[in-house]
């Protein structure tokens, strides 16, 4: 079932040590935290949550995980009890635990759409929280993608996957796939597409089984929160400029073009000292030295992210990358007949988002009005010589409000936002070594140098096996069957390995 009501704003975290610290956004709001032994209690407010599972639809959820700062100053991931009866939440929410204990999901117990004004949540961890210097609770909005078959490919897009006749493929199983029976349709004529191996193993997530995916792309504030729990050495790997750079330095931008922000506002708040003290990061896009204020673009998509950055964030959050097959499933929906050249909202037409309103605020949107049956997306112009439009990222979920439908909001069939446009998504492809990827979740812990350390994930340095999907703010749109980055089946860049940071690349993960 299509979800026509999409949450307007994005997620935040709250950190506390036995006292209240206010949350910093107003869609997902965590507040009034307290700890007692191995129990952490807090309040959650959450707008536009949905549960449509009784009507053959899906539901959204919040992924909750816990970090603790030790007496030495380092941060560690804290596991939670796997028995759901050991946790508590008030109506209308319920708890869904996971088998590895790295976090839990909060979701609506009741059917329909609900604004959760205030619900009480108690999470039982496996350790004594009073032994830590500080505890932080993180929340990430997720969307549940239900089990079911789906079509892969649209029979038109560049380097898209197809059967021997060039038509879309019905994926009905998680079993291994004989790739000798699959072709690269309409292959990229400018760059040789990545050659398909002979077999896609059964362990590769194909999208037929259910999974969770982040509702929004990783935001800049979320990336700041991530950086602020790393060591100096780890931060050095996960930023463009050294953590020892002066206060106010924009940390993620191209070091050779420091004034080219492309609407990224991540700065160094307090310089670090190599081998002894990590830096502190914050948002200051408007350069007024009022850090993390409501005009700093807190919830814009995090750009300048390479594969090492995204995979580290997902490992740290105990999530995982999504595959290119899952990308098409979460966009197109179950059994939906593909439309040639279609975008995430299910049509083959798009309107560009060029003119921000409430710029930089938590309500950032655009004044552009989508044309009939055209989704609204942040992308380049139709004609490259006319420039690149906005030249940077927008707030995640910028086009959605309580009155928009799927097309107007630019949402996928299941209510996932900005799959087409804003920043390129980094997915695992069925070639280039990506076929060896398995559904193993991050454990919340990174290597000493700040890399994801899950062995079956693609190499964080080479990015071999990673595929860019969905287009970004620099993407132009041509006719069906040609340059059309935002099309969900397009694989134009299967030859490109996102090992370097680019101003239009970000991403999201799943579980």
CA dihedral 59, 509, 184, 160 (to 10 degrees): 50
Do 381 and 453 sit in the same domain of this protein? Answer: yes
Residue finishing a domain among 234, 263, 298: 298
The answer to whether residue 5 sits within a structural domain is no
- The position carrying tokens 């205030």 is 118
For residue 239, give the nearest of 265, 266, 217 by alpha carbon: 266
Task: Give the pLDDT of residue 380.
Answer: 83
Do 242 and 351 sit in the same domain of this protein? Answer: no
Do 107 and 166 sit in the same domain of this protein? Answer: no
Q: Name 190's Cβ contacts closer than 8 Å, sequence gap at least 6.
A: none
Cβ–Cβ under 8 Å, residues 430 and 178: no
Task: Give the pLDDT of residue 275.
Answer: 86
Q: Name 396's Cβ contacts closer than 8 Å, sequence gap at least 6.
A: 10, 216, 217, 219, 299, 300, 301, 417, 418, 422
Residue finishing a domain among 122, 145, 168: 145
The answer to whether residue 306 sits within a structural domain is no
Q: Name 333's Cβ contacts closer than 8 Å, sequence gap at least 6.
A: 2, 150, 412, 413, 414
Q: Name 403's Cβ contacts closer than 8 Å, sequence gap at least 6.
A: none
Do 325 and 179 sit in the same domain of this protein? Answer: yes
Mapped onto helix, strand or coil, the DSSP state of residue 52 is: coil
Do 346 and 432 sit in the same domain of this protein? Answer: yes
Task: Give the pLDDT of residue 401.
Answer: 87
Cβ–Cβ under 8 Å, residues 120 and 89: yes
Do 207 and 333 sit in the same domain of this protein? Answer: yes
> What is the span of the domain harbouring residue 256?
220-298
Beta strand 375-377 with 350-352 is: parallel
Do 134 and 160 sit in the same domain of this protein? Answer: no
Beta bridge partners of 365: 357
The answer to whether residue 7 sits within a structural domain is no
CA–CA separation, 119 and 111 (whole Å): 17
Residue 314 φ/ψ, nearest 5 degrees: -70, -40
Do 264 and 396 sit in the same domain of this protein? Answer: no
Task: Give the pLDDT of residue 231.
Answer: 98
Do 257 and 275 sit in the same domain of this protein? Answer: yes
- Residue 299: is it exposed, middle or buried by C-beta count within 10 angstroms (0-12/13-18/19+)? buried
DSSP string, 329-370: HHHH-TTPPP-TT--TTSSS-EEE---EESTTSTT-EES--P
Task: Give the pLDDT of residue 19.
Answer: 25
Do 370 and 498 sit in the same domain of this protein? Answer: yes
CA–CA separation, 246 and 272 (whole Å): 9
Residue 275's CB is within 10 A of a number of other CB atoms, namely: 8
The answer to whether residue 395 sits within a structural domain is yes
Task: Give the pLDDT of residue 37.
Answer: 97
* Crossing angle of the two packed helices 307-316 and 220-227, in degrees rounded to 10: 70
Q: State the total domains in the chain.
A: 3
Residue finishing a domain among 102, 126, 145: 145
CATH code of 128's domain: 2.60.40
The answer to whether residue 3 sits within a structural domain is no
Do 507 and 373 sit in the same domain of this protein? Answer: yes
For 123, 152, 326, 486, the CA distances from 169, given in Å and listed in that order, are 43, 5, 14, 20
At 56, list the tokens.
């053959």
Q: What is the pLDDT along the chain (511 residues), one digit of tens a residue?
A: 333 322 222 222 333 332 222 223 337 999 999 999 999 999 999 988 999 999 899 999 999 999 999 999 999 999 999 999 999 999 999 999 999 999 999 999 999 999 999 999 999 999 999 999 999 999 999 999 999 999 999 999 999 999 999 999 999 999 999 999 999 999 999 999 999 999 999 999 999 999 999 999 999 999 999 999 999 999 999 999 999 999 999 999 999 998 899 999 999 999 999 989 999 999 999 999 999 999 999 999 999 999 999 999 999 999 999 999 999 999 999 989 999 999 999 999 999 998 999 999 999 999 999 999 999 999 986 555 556 678 999 999 999 988 899 999 999 999 999 999 999 999 999 999 999 999 999 999 999 999 999 999 999 999 999 999 999 999 988 999 998 999 999 999 999 999 999 999 999 999 9
The answer to whether residue 310 sits within a structural domain is no
Residue 329 φ/ψ, nearest 5 degrees: -65, -50
- From the centroid of its chain, how far is CA 449? 23
Residue 115's CB is within 10 A of a number of other CB atoms, namely: 12
Cβ–Cβ under 8 Å, residues 242 and 282: no
At 101, list the tokens.
């204990």
Where are any strands of DSSP class E within 2-159? 13-16, 28-36, 39-51, 60-69, 75-78, 88-89, 93-97, 104-108, 112-124, 134-145, 150-152
- From the centroid of its chain, how far is CA 380? 21
The answer to whether residue 165 sits within a structural domain is yes
The answer to whether residue 352 sits within a structural domain is yes
Do 115 and 197 sit in the same domain of this protein? Answer: no
Task: Give the pLDDT of residue 16.
Answer: 34
């Amino acid at each position: 079932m299509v979800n026509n009501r999409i949450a307007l704003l994005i997620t935040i975290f709250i950190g506390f040590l036995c006292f209240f610290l206010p949350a910093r956004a107003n869609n997902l709001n965590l507040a009034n935290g307290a700890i007692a032994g191995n129990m952490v209690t807090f309040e959650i407010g959450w707008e536009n949550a949905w549960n449509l599972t009784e009507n053959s639809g899906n539901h959204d959820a919040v992924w909750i995980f816990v970090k603790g700062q030790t007496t030495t100053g380092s941060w560690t991931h804290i596991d939670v009890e796997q028995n759901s009866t050991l946790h508590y939440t008030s109506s209308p929410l319920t708890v869904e635990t996971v088998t590895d204990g790295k976090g839990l999901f909060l979701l609506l117990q009741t059917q329909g759409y609900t604004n959760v004004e205030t619900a009480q949540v108690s999470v039982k961890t496996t350790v004594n929280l009073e032994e830590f210097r500080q505890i932080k609770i993180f929340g990430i909005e997720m969307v549940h993608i239900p089990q079911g078959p789906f079509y892969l490919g649209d029979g038109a897009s560049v380097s898209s996957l197809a059967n021997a006749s060039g038509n879309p493929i019905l994926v009905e199983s998680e079993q291994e796939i004989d790739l000798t029976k699959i072709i690269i349709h309409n292959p990229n004529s400018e760059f040789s597409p990545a050659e398909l191996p002979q077999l896609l193993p059964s362990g590769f997530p194909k999208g037929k089984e259910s999974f969770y995916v982040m509702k929004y792309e990783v935001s800049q504030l979320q990336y700041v929160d991530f950086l602020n729990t790393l060591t100096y050495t780890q931060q050095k790997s996960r930023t463009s400029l050294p953590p020892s750079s002066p206060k106010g330095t924009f940390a993620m931008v191209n070091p050779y073009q420091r004034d080219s922000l492309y609407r990224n506002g991540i700065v160094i708040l307090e310089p670090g000292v190599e081998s002894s003290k990590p830096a502190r990061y914050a948002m200051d896009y408007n350069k007024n030295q009022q850090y993390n204020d409501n005009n700093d673009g807190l919830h814009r998509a995090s750009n300048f992210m390479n594969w090492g950055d995204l995979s580290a964030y997902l490992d740290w959050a105990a999530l995982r990358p999504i595959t290119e097959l899952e990308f098409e499933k979460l966009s197109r929906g179950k059994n939906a007949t593909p439309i040639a050249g279609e975008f995430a909202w299910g049509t083959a037409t798009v309107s560009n988002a060029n003119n921000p309103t409430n710029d930089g605020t938590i309500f950032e949107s655009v004044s552009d009005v989508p044309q009939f049956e055209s989704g609204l997306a942040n992308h380049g112009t139709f004609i490259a010589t006319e420039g690149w439009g906005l030249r940077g990222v927008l707030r995640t979920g910028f086009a959605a409000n309580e009155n928009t439908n799927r097309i107007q909001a630019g949402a996928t069939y299941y209510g996932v936002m900005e799959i087409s446009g804003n920043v390129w998504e980094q997915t695992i492809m069925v070639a280039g070594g990506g076929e060896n990827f398995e559904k193993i979740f991050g454990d919340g812990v990174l290597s000493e140098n700040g890399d994801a350390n899950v062995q079956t994930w693609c190499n964080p340095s080479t990015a071999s096996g990673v595929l860019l999907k969905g287009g970004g703010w620099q993407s132009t749109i041509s006719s069906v069957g040609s340059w059309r980055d935002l099309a969900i089946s397009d694989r134009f860049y299967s030859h490109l390995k996102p090992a370097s940071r680019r101003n239009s690349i970000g991403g999201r993960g799943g579980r």
